[in-house]
Amino acid sequence: MALLLRERHVRSLLTMPDTIAVLEDAFSAQVDGKVINHPRCRLSLSTGVLNILAAAVPTFGVLGHKTYTAFREGVRYVVMLFSAHDGELLAVVEADWLGSMRTGAASALATRYMARPDASVIALIGSGKQAMTQLMGICEVCPVEVVNVYSRRQHEREVFCQEMTRLLNVDVRSMSSARQAVEAADVVITATTSPDPVINGAWLSPGCHINAIGSNWAERRELDSMAVQRSALVVTDSIEQARAEAGDLIAPIEEGLFEWDRVFELADIVSQEALARESPAEITLYKSLGIALEDVATAAHVYHLARKQNIGEEIDILS
Judge if 89 and 137 occupy the same domain. no
Judge if 248 and 264 occupy the same domain. yes
Residue 57 maps to a domain: yes
Residue 109 maps to a domain: no
Beta strand 62-71 with 74-83 is antiparallel
Q: What is the pLDDT of residue 161?
A: 98
Alpha-carbon gap, residue 111 to 211, rounded angstroms:
8
Q: Maximum CA pair distance of the chain? A: 58
Judge if 9 and 85 occupy the same domain. yes
Alpha-carbon gap, residue 185 to 124, rounded angstroms:
9
Residue closest to 110 by CA, chosen among 234, 250, 296 = 234
Identify the three-state secondary structure at position 66: strand
CATH number for position 263: 3.40.50.720
DSSP conformational letter for 196:
S
Residue closest to 152 by CA, chosen among 120, 96, 191 = 191
Sign, CA dihedral 179-181-183-188, equals: negative
Residue 219 maps to a domain: yes
Beta strand 89-94 with 209-212 is unpaired
Judge if 153 and 286 occupy the same domain. yes
Judge if 48 and 182 occupy the same domain. no
Q: What is the pLDDT of residue 277?
A: 86
Are the beta carbons of 182 and 203 closer than 8 angstroms? yes
Judge if 126 and 273 occupy the same domain. yes
Give the count of domains, the chain. Answer: 2
CATH number for position 74: 3.30.1780.10
Angle at 164 between CA 160 and CA 165, to 5 degrees: 115
Q: What is the pLDDT of residue 147?
A: 98
Alpha-carbon gap, residue 88 to 122, rounded angstroms:
44
Alpha-carbon gap, residue 209 to 233, rounded angstroms:
10
Residue 142 maps to a domain: yes
Residue 127 maps to a domain: yes
DSSP conformational letter for 59:
G
Judge if 301 and 220 occupy the same domain. no
Beta strand 48-57 with 36-44 is antiparallel
Enter the pTM of the model: 0.96
Judge if 87 and 126 occupy the same domain. no
Residue 107 maps to a domain: no
Judge if 73 and 196 occupy the same domain. no
Judge if 305 and 195 occupy the same domain. no
Residue 105 maps to a domain: no
> CB-based contacts of 125: which residues, under 8 Å, 6+ apart?
149, 150, 151, 178, 181, 182, 188, 189, 190, 191, 192, 198, 199, 222
Say how many C-beta atoms besides its own lie within 10 A of residue 221's C-beta.
Answer: 28
Residue 282 maps to a domain: yes
Are the beta carbons of 272 and 30 closer than 8 angstroms? no
Q: What is the pLDDT of residue 273?
A: 67
Judge if 36 and 121 occupy the same domain. no
Weakly modelled stretches of the chain, pLDDT under 50: none
Q: Which structural domain, as residue segments, surrounds residue 221?
A: 114-290
Are the beta carbons of 38 and 292 closer than 8 angstroms? yes
* Burial degree of 264 (CB within 10 A; 0-12, 13-18, 19+): middle
Judge if 120 and 183 occupy the same domain. yes
> CB-based contacts of 81: which residues, under 8 Å, 6+ apart?
62, 64, 89, 90, 91, 92, 93, 296, 299, 300, 303
Alpha-carbon gap, residue 152 to 150, rounded angstroms:
7
